[in-house]
Chains A and B, each alone.
Chain A
Amino acid sequence: MAVTDTAPAKAQTISHAHRRQTLVIGWLLLALAVFVAVFFAMPTTGTASFRLAFPGDLFTVPNLKVPAAPYAWIVAAVLAFFGVRQFLPGAAKWSGILFGIGLLLVVTAFLTWATAGKSFSLTGMLQATLIRAVPIALGGLAGVLSERVAVVNIAIEGMLLAGAFTGAVIGSLLGGTIGLIGAVLVGGAFGLLLAALVVTYRVDQIIAGVAINLLVLGLTSYVSSQVLTHYRSLNNAPVFRAIEIPFLSDLPVIGPVLFQHNLFVYGALIMVAIATYYLFYTRVGLRARAVGEHPEAADTLGINVYRLRYINVTLGGMVAGFGGAWFTLGSVGRFDDNMTAGRGFIGLAAMIFGRWHPVGALMAALVFGFADSLQQKLAILRTPIPAEFLAMAPYIATIVLVAGLIGRARAPAADGKPYVKE
């Protein structure tokens, strides 16, 4: 007698919730089309001039001139087309992708509108995108390493701040490299603390994370006001200069954007690559993921669940320490109170959006980095939108992402639950 076949039958019809989401996205796209038409197309005149050339290029690339109003009309038309598409049969599969592309088009239309009649350096903005994405990508990577073994890490913000502080102080005393190593070690120390609290003492993971954040904030602010204000020389660290990769950095556009960065950007990219290999192509990575998905199964196979959790969370802390050093040693060289301003949490959002994959988190971080550098550029362009609202953009983007409007993701199955051996 034949045994039953494999997967269960898929429905011919789509569930109500799915259908509703498709329609909602359709209406959203149509609304965006109207919005773009009314605000970006109709009142605009002039041409937006995007400078692509960068000093030091091999050859000069001419500016990208985009007539603002016609471009906006085109975008509005495309959005309308996408929107209508959502109401036709078979739309559900493409919903997510079309919505993502639609949002991208709205952003380009917005940029064109803001730049109409003026010019600004697109290459510069793309370069800044990569730079500003670094702390978020590293925070997200730290989150991935931790959550893949099912430990929710709310403390990334604190670890970043600790890394920033340590980098500044030790960097002032003993130079940038030692400062960087110190930051990594301190980040790792807080990772170890989180692991101890969560794995051995079974503190609720979110509470432990919040507590560590408050502790680091308190410690850094205390030492900063108690000691650093009196000894200015302790808060004056050297900044890592950009390393230009010969020849590649002279290529137009991609040169400045990809090959003229400092250690932190290259380091972040390398870490993402290493983490991907570690998690998905090695033996320990398989075990780590098993611990995150089904710790009991791993336990019965003789895998030390506690030790793997400790190791991964501490590693995550070290990555966060490195990312935190970016704020000081990679940017301004001086520590200011609470200078991380929520990037650790945005990193968590990047992790969720990137489906708990290091490369995904990097992609998401680039999106956030783009929003961040966009906000800066717009302030320079003197757009009618107040600076404070622009500063909110990354936070609003995080909420939208986490609300799952663009794709649903699934966390490692045991995420957030402590594992107790009998």
Chain B
Amino acid sequence: MDIELRGITKRFGDIVANSNVNLHIRAGEVLGLLGENGAGKSTMMNVLSGLYRPDEGEILIDGKPVHFRGPGDAIRAGIGMVHQHFMLVPVFTVAENVVLGVEPTGVLDHLDLVKAREQVRQINEQYGLQVNPDDLIENLPVGIQQRVEIIKVLFRSAEVIIFDEPTAVLTPQEVTEFFKIVRALRDAGKALVFITHKLHEIHEVADRISVLRAGKIVGEGLPGQTSDQELAEMMVGRPVVFEVEKKPFEPREVLLDVRGLTVLRDDDSVAVDNASVSIRSGEIVGIAGVQGNGQTELVEALTGLRRPSSGTVTFQGKDITQASARERHRMGFAHVPEDRQRAGMVSDFTIAENMALNTYYAPPYSRGILMDWPKIYEDSARNVVAFDVRTQSIFTPAGTLSGGNQQKMIVARELSRDTKLLIASQPTRGLDVGSIEYIHKRIVAAREEGDGVLIVSSELDEVLALSDRILVMFKGRIVAEFGAGARKPSKNEIGLAMAGAVA
């Protein structure tokens, strides 16, 4: 099957997400779609999969124009989408999720789950996927959940499969397995689109590359022939520096000392298992690991949002294991949370109100119970300028800012204080390259000022670029430690540790 997008334009109010996009997708080929966060890749693919309707332009299948009134039409036409955030119902089984929308039925609309299970097993065998149809989604690891998404599209006889940022949640080993599956699908004659912002993956799996920037296709390339430098420049529009400038590592005294920490999740399962880590002043410690291995709970325990069930946390010699989040704030903790919309800011509050979110209760921003708004406004304005938050006024609701500016606002709030320890969780997730560079600069600056920094990130490049020491978390345990003077570890070594294979 041959798909062409011709002149596709899609607007959301004043914002033009896609502008006059032309794309050709051929059977038996993997098209790599490259673009930074916010470039419009997801929008385009949502148009192709029928979720959005284009304002201009048309979609042609085998040369004939088609109109999709909704995702149902696109699915029937043979287009299947594997979303970045899985579209799986956690409390249903694999089989139920796979057949949802195209269920086999019997008399009185009876749901024929026996038949559904059988069909799932057939696809398993055909493509070597090995997924148990009766497992509940919420009990499955992320790599397997992704396979369920793949089975879903194959079940609907998809000839075109679109993968939207598929490797964001996989370990390097899982990524290799995943690429094998992609090649198998390609060899079976499917047309595949692989959307990502990660340059090295494009080279491994794509047959052709198209680059999207600010809603337009700005260039094409071939893997192996077009260099990373050229591709990155097309993605961002200017020469990109890959390395982060850092002064040599001169660690000082130990700031935060964590010993034997065990933290439980809400359902009483073990999230962090007897972990120990120390962070020195003037040092950046990076924790690498696929999300779900306890990093979130570790950060919550360190910032005072979750009580550990055993172990100690010492800060500058004082035991703070039971200290509240606010007490830690006072001691100089800064926390950039991993989910900025849910936990980092209040979208309906103005920028000024957000800037005061964790300092409002004490002088100079309040006297007793009375808030000092003029002082808050003054400082907010100053910090917004200093931290490059692009906005018209400090009275605009924070929810209207772009992702990058929201994160910069949060960083401004945290780092404009006198801080000693910065804990940043997934600090550049979903951000454009410009914001990423800026935030990396700020993190390094904090280190120069003598702060201890803890970065938790599933972006291996980020961890490698920023950290002086790298720890790897797997199933709640610290399974490997790299750096601290020794040579820089290779991605493969870290990847092995992330998958739990340690010598």
Q: How many Å lie between the Cα of A4 and that of B140 in the bound state?
A: 10
B71 contacts A282, CB within 8 Å? Answer: no
Q: Which stretch from A22-30, A200-208, A258-266, A300-308 is at the chain B interface? A: A300-308
Q: Number of B residues contacting the other chain (C-beta, 8 Å)?
A: 50
Q: Which of B51, B141, B143, B177 contacts A422 (CB 8 A)?
A: B51
**Nearest-CB distance from B348 to chain A (Å)?**
14
A417 within 8 A of B: no
A287 within 8 A of B: yes
**Nearest-CB distance from B90 to chain A (Å)?**
7
B174 within 8 A of A: yes
Which residues in chain A, 291-345, are within 8 Å of chain B measured between CB atoms?
293-294, 296-303
Q: A3-B174, A6-B140, A15-B264 are in contact. Are A281 and B110 (CB under 8 A)?
A: yes
| Chain A residues whose CB sits within 8 angstroms of the CB of B87 once the complex forms | 294, 296-297, 300-301
Q: How many Å lie between the Cα of A1 and that of B171 in the bound state?
A: 12
B208 within 8 A of A: no
A283 contacts B500, CB within 8 Å? Answer: no
Interface size class of A (residues with CB under 8 A): 35 or more
A302 contacts B109, CB within 8 Å? Answer: no
**Nearest-CB distance from A186 to chain B (Å)?**
28
Q: A3-B141, A294-B90 are in contact. Are A282 and B111 (CB under 8 A)?
A: yes
Q: A11-B268, A15-B268, A281-B111 are in contact. Are A290 and B139 (CB under 8 A)?
A: no
A88 within 8 A of B: no
A18 within 8 A of B: yes
**Nearest-CB distance from B251 to chain A (Å)?**
34
B101 contacts A301, CB within 8 Å? Answer: yes
Q: How many Å lie between the Cα of A18 and that of B269 in the bound state?
A: 13
A230 within 8 A of B: no
Q: Which of A6, A281, A287, A413 contacts B101 (CB 8 A)?
A: A287
Q: Which of B70, B89, B499 contacts A1 (CB 8 A)?
A: B499
A300 contacts B81, CB within 8 Å? Answer: yes
| Chain A residues whose CB sits within 8 angstroms of the CB of B97 once the complex forms | 297
Q: How many Å lie between the Cα of A14 and that of B268 in the bound state?
A: 6
| Chain A residues whose CB sits within 8 angstroms of the CB of B90 once the complex forms | 293-294, 413
Q: How many Å lie between the Cα of A14 and that of B500 in the bound state?
A: 26
A286 contacts B103, CB within 8 Å? Answer: yes
**Nearest-CB distance from B177 to chain A (Å)?**
7
B83 within 8 A of A: yes
**Nearest-CB distance from A407 to chain B (Å)?**
15
| Chain A residues whose CB sits within 8 angstroms of the CB of B83 once the complex forms | 300
Which residues in chain B, 447-503, are within 8 Å of chain A measured between CB atoms?
475, 499-501
Q: Which of A1, A8, A10, A301 contacts B173 (CB 8 A)?
A: A1
Q: How many Å lie between the Cα of A301 and that of B500 in the bound state?
A: 35
Q: How many Å lie between the Cα of A290 and that of B96 in the bound state?
A: 10
A290 contacts B100, CB within 8 Å? Answer: yes
| Chain A residues whose CB sits within 8 angstroms of the CB of B174 once the complex forms | 3
Q: Which of A1, A289, A296 contacts B501 (CB 8 A)?
A: A1
Which residues in chain A, 139-191, are within 8 Å of chain B measured between CB atoms?
none
| Chain A residues whose CB sits within 8 angstroms of the CB of B100 once the complex forms | 286-287, 290, 297-298, 301, 303
Residues 247-258 of chain A, each 1 if its beta carbon lies under 8 Å from chain B, else 0: 000000000000
A422 contacts B70, CB within 8 Å? Answer: no
Q: How many Å lie between the Cα of A5 and that of B135 in the bound state?
A: 13
Q: A3-B174, A4-B141, A302-B70 are in contact. Are A11 and B101 (CB under 8 A)?
A: no
Q: How many Å lie between the Cα of A402 and that of B298 in the bound state?
A: 32
User: Closest residue to B76 on the A side, CB-wise?
Assistant: A302
Q: How many Å lie between the Cα of A3 and that of B307 in the bound state?
A: 31
B260 within 8 A of A: no
B139 contacts A6, CB within 8 Å? Answer: yes
B108 within 8 A of A: yes
Interface centre among A1, A6, A282, A283 (most CB of B within 10 A): A283
**Nearest-CB distance from B300 to chain A (Å)?**
14
A284 within 8 A of B: yes
| Chain B residues whose CB sits within 8 angstroms of the CB of A284 once the complex forms | 109
A285 within 8 A of B: yes
Q: How many Å lie between the Cα of A372 and that of B193 in the bound state?
A: 63
Interface centre among A296, A300, A413 (most CB of B within 10 A): A300
| Chain A residues whose CB sits within 8 angstroms of the CB of B140 once the complex forms | 6
Which residues in chain B, 66-104, are within 8 Å of chain A measured between CB atoms?
70-73, 75, 81, 83, 87-92, 96-97, 100-103
Which residues in chain B, 96-153, are within 8 Å of chain A measured between CB atoms?
96-97, 100-103, 105, 108-111, 135, 139-141, 143-144
B81 contacts A293, CB within 8 Å? Answer: no
**Nearest-CB distance from A191 to chain B (Å)?**
21
A7 within 8 A of B: yes
User: Closest residue to A92 on the B side, CB-wise?
Assistant: B268
A9 contacts B269, CB within 8 Å? Answer: yes
A4 contacts B499, CB within 8 Å? Answer: yes
B75 contacts A301, CB within 8 Å? Answer: yes
A226 within 8 A of B: no
Q: Which of B46, B51, B70, B264 contacts A11 (CB 8 A)?
A: B264
Q: How many Å lie between the Cα of A6 and that of B145 in the bound state?
A: 11
User: Closest residue to A410 on the B side, CB-wise?
Assistant: B91
B270 contacts A303, CB within 8 Å? Answer: no
User: Closest residue to A293 on the B side, CB-wise?
Assistant: B89
| Chain A residues whose CB sits within 8 angstroms of the CB of B500 once the complex forms | 4
B393 within 8 A of A: no
**Nearest-CB distance from B137 to chain A (Å)?**
10
Q: A11-B269, A285-B111 are in contact. Are A3 and B144 (CB under 8 A)?
A: yes
User: Closest residue to B50 on the A side, CB-wise?
Assistant: A302
| Chain A residues whose CB sits within 8 angstroms of the CB of B72 once the complex forms | 301-302
B143 contacts A4, CB within 8 Å? Answer: yes
Q: How many Å lie between the Cα of A290 and that of B70 in the bound state?
A: 18
Which residues in chain B, 221-257, are within 8 Å of chain A measured between CB atoms?
none
**Nearest-CB distance from B18 to chain A (Å)?**
13
**Nearest-CB distance from B50 to chain A (Å)?**
8
Q: How many Å lie between the Cα of A10 and that of B50 in the bound state?
A: 42
B139 contacts A10, CB within 8 Å? Answer: no
User: Closest residue to B174 on the A side, CB-wise?
Assistant: A3
User: Closest residue to B135 on the A side, CB-wise?
Assistant: A6
| Chain B residues whose CB sits within 8 angstroms of the CB of A301 once the complex forms | 71-72, 75, 87, 100-102
| Chain B residues whose CB sits within 8 angstroms of the CB of A298 once the complex forms | 89, 100-101
Ordered nearest first, which 4 A-B pairs have the shortest CB separation?
Answer: A302-B72, A301-B101, A297-B87, A282-B109
Can you list 8 residue pairs at the A/B interface with Cβ under 8 Å?
A: A4-B475, A4-B499, A8-B265, A11-B269, A282-B108, A286-B100, A290-B92, A297-B97
Which of A's residues lie within 8 Å of B, judged by CB?
A: 1, 3-11, 13-16, 18, 281-287, 289-290, 293-294, 296-303, 413, 422
Which of B's residues lie within 8 Å of A, judged by CB?
A: 12, 46, 49-52, 70-73, 75, 81, 83, 87-92, 96-97, 100-103, 105, 108-111, 135, 139-141, 143-144, 173-174, 177, 264-265, 268-270, 307, 309, 475, 499-501
4 other A-B residue contacts (CB within 8 Å) besides A15-B309, A281-B110? A6-B135, A293-B90, A297-B97, A300-B83
